[in-house]
Amino acid sequence: MTEPLSILIPDGEHELSLRVLRCLANAPQVRVTVLSRDKWAPIRVSCHHRGFIDHTVDTFDDKRVEAICDAAKKARADIILPAALPCTRLVAEYSEEFSKASSLPPLASKDLINTFSDKWSFTQLLQKTGVPHPKSMETTQVDFARSDDGNLRFPVLVKARNLSSGDGIRICRDTHELQNFLDAQERPNEFIVQEFITGPDISSSILAEDGKILAQTTQLEIVPSHKPFKSPAAVQFIYKDEVRDMIQHLVRVTGWSGICNFDFVYDEERKEPKLLEANPRYWRSVLGSLVAGVNFPHLACRTGKGENYPLPTYREVRYSKPDRGLGLLARGMLGSKQKISRLDETGIPFILKDPLPDLLIQTTKVFQRLSPGGERRASIKKRATLRAG
């Protein structure tokens, strides 16, 4: 019998870490320890880890490196697996120091991670590599004297360069509306302007090493979010050759290593997918990829330990977010045209197996709503987290 693989998740304070932990709980022979800056992070009460360690370092520098390395030694971790972007950047920057304490999953350089995560830098990379993408420009390049800028057709999207999860996006229908929005911003140069393309959203997620894709899943939006620009309520996993080929080309020419999630929009006018942005971290629907048959966190750990395996195939299943799963399931059972009709097509089973973190999350939200200024503090904290990662 082989020894269990010991894994340290070093950023348990981030919500993505709980999704990664639940993926690892579905892999054989793993033991997970969680390190967190937040002593009462929801992941603490999960039944899936063997230990929880907290620390007091707020910054992402050599002090946090020391805290993570100490935790890795204490947990006797075989591999350090960051979930969110700030810690992924840190591990990439200090990979030599971390490697002395434990093995690491595939990681790109910090500079390449920054290029992928910054929307304008990523757009410039797409231009150089010839990958189809929406026309985009920096806010300083917009000609406000024209009712319709020569390089962009209105309406346009204004996007914060370094936010994710649909935050910091605004639709503007003419130069007047665009200028008013930018004039109201403290740092207007932290936004880009992008042509608005109508069509279904497509997302594709990968694990790669030195420019070679080791695992990939692709999903199509089938039920949109209630909120504009947020991740879909439900998706259908699909195989899409055009999307696969674009990502393979980009991964090869950049030599990308690590996990990454790519957002596309299918341009119905030009009949082609266009790459919008990249998220070089784990994604919110990583449990959906698991349902489809690909356990990305576990494969990243196996790769970090030097294992080889064939390119995984995945099932063309449907998947809905847990918070929308019950509603979609109920409507499906009542004969609605909604796409979700089975419990295992939702994230609900993951919560039923590990209910305490979600109970803590919902309880915290209730207290925030009831306390004076609680919602505002929670919103500020969320924006700060998104800006960091």
- Specify whether 231 is located in the same domain as 294: yes
Least confident of 97-106, 159-168, 194-203: 159-168
Provide the 8-state DSSP code for 346: B
Mean pLDDT of 25-50: 97
pLDDT (0 to 100) of residue 119: 96
Is residue 260 situated within a structural domain? yes
Q: For residue 334, is pLDDT > 70?
A: no
Give the residue from 18, 24, 19, 3 showing the smallest Cα distance to 298.
Answer: 24
- Specify whether 187 is located in the same domain as 237: no
Is residue 186 situated within a structural domain? yes
Write out the two tokens for 386: 């998104």
Q: What single string gives the DSSP state of each residue in 47-114?
A: SS-SEEEE----SSSHHHHHHHHHHHHHHT-SEE---SHHHHHHHHHTHHHHHHHSB------HHHHH
Is residue 214 situated within a structural domain? yes
Measured CA to CA, the distance from residue 371 to residue 385 in angstroms comes to: 21
- For the chain, list the strands marked E by DSSP: 5-9, 30-36, 51-54, 79-80, 136-138, 156-160, 169-172, 191-195, 201-209, 212-223, 234-238, 258-267, 272-279, 318-320
- Specify whether 235 is located in the same domain as 326: yes
Least confident of 18-27, 42-51, 189-198: 189-198
333 contact partners, CB below 8 Å, separation of at least 6: 341
Percent of the chain past pLDDT 70, that is, above it, reads: 89
- Give the three-class secondary structure for 249: helix
Mean pLDDT of 183-189: 91
The pLDDT tens digits for 136-170 are 999 888 766 555 555 678 899 999 999 877 788 99
pLDDT (0 to 100) of residue 140: 84
Measured CA to CA, the distance from residue 387 to residue 192 in angstroms comes to: 15
Q: For residue 275, is pLDDT > 60?
A: yes
121 contact partners, CB below 8 Å, separation of at least 6: 114, 115
For the chain, what is the mean pLDDT?
90
R_g of the chain, CA atoms, integer Å: 21
pLDDT (0 to 100) of residue 146: 58
Q: For residue 38, is pLDDT > 80?
A: yes
- Specify whether 364 is located in the same domain as 347: no
At residue 250, φ and ψ (nearest 5 deg) are: -65, -45
Measured CA to CA, the distance from residue 205 to residue 292 in angstroms comes to: 12
Mean pLDDT of 242-268: 97
- Specify whether 381 is located in the same domain as 309: no
pLDDT (0 to 100) of residue 297: 98
Q: What is the model's pTM?
A: 0.91
- Token pair 């796409």 is found at 339
Measured CA to CA, the distance from residue 375 to residue 368 in angstroms comes to: 6
Measured CA to CA, the distance from residue 166 to residue 324 in angstroms comes to: 17
Mean pLDDT of 11-23: 97
Read off the amino acid at residue 75: A
| Residue where one domain finishes, among candidates 104, 126, 160 | 104
Is residue 112 situated within a structural domain? no
CB 250 within 8 A of CB 336: no
Mean pLDDT of 255-260: 98
- Specify whether 223 is located in the same domain as 326: yes
Is residue 128 situated within a structural domain? no
- Specify whether 213 is located in the same domain as 335: yes
Q: For residue 106, is pLDDT > 50?
A: yes
Q: Which is it for strands 79-80 and 201-209: parallel, antiparallel or unpaired?
A: unpaired
Phi-psi region of 213 (alpha: psi -120 to 50; beta: other; left: phi over 0): beta
pLDDT (0 to 100) of residue 237: 97
- Specify whether 258 is located in the same domain as 273: yes
Is residue 109 situated within a structural domain? no
Is residue 289 situated within a structural domain? yes
pLDDT (0 to 100) of residue 1: 43
Is residue 127 situated within a structural domain? no
267 contact partners, CB below 8 Å, separation of at least 6: 197, 199, 273, 274
- Give the three-class secondary structure for 324: helix
| Residue where one domain finishes, among candidates 148, 179, 195 | 195
Query: Which contiguous run of DSSP H or E holds residue 257?
Result: none
Q: For residue 290, is pLDDT > 80?
A: yes
- Specify whether 211 is located in the same domain as 347: yes
160 contact partners, CB below 8 Å, separation of at least 6: 119, 167, 168, 169, 190, 191
CB 202 within 8 A of CB 240: yes
- Specify whether 224 is located in the same domain as 86: no
For residue 51, what are the domain limits? Answer: 5-104
Provide the 8-state DSSP code for 347: S
If one counts the domains in the chain, the total is: 4
Measured CA to CA, the distance from residue 368 to residue 41 in angstroms comes to: 15
260 bridge partner residues: 206
Q: For residue 125, is pLDDT > 90?
A: yes
Q: What is the CATH number of the domain that holds 268?
A: 3.30.470.20
Least confident of 48-52, 315-319, 339-343: 339-343
- Specify whether 294 is located in the same domain as 251: yes
Q: Which is it for strands 169-172 and 212-223: parallel, antiparallel or unpaired?
A: unpaired
- Specify whether 144 is located in the same domain as 206: no
134 contact partners, CB below 8 Å, separation of at least 6: 194, 195, 196, 197, 265, 274, 276
137 bridge partner residues: 193
Distance of CA 43 to the CA centre of its chain: 18
Mean pLDDT of 46-58: 98
At residue 163, φ and ψ (nearest 5 deg) are: -105, 165
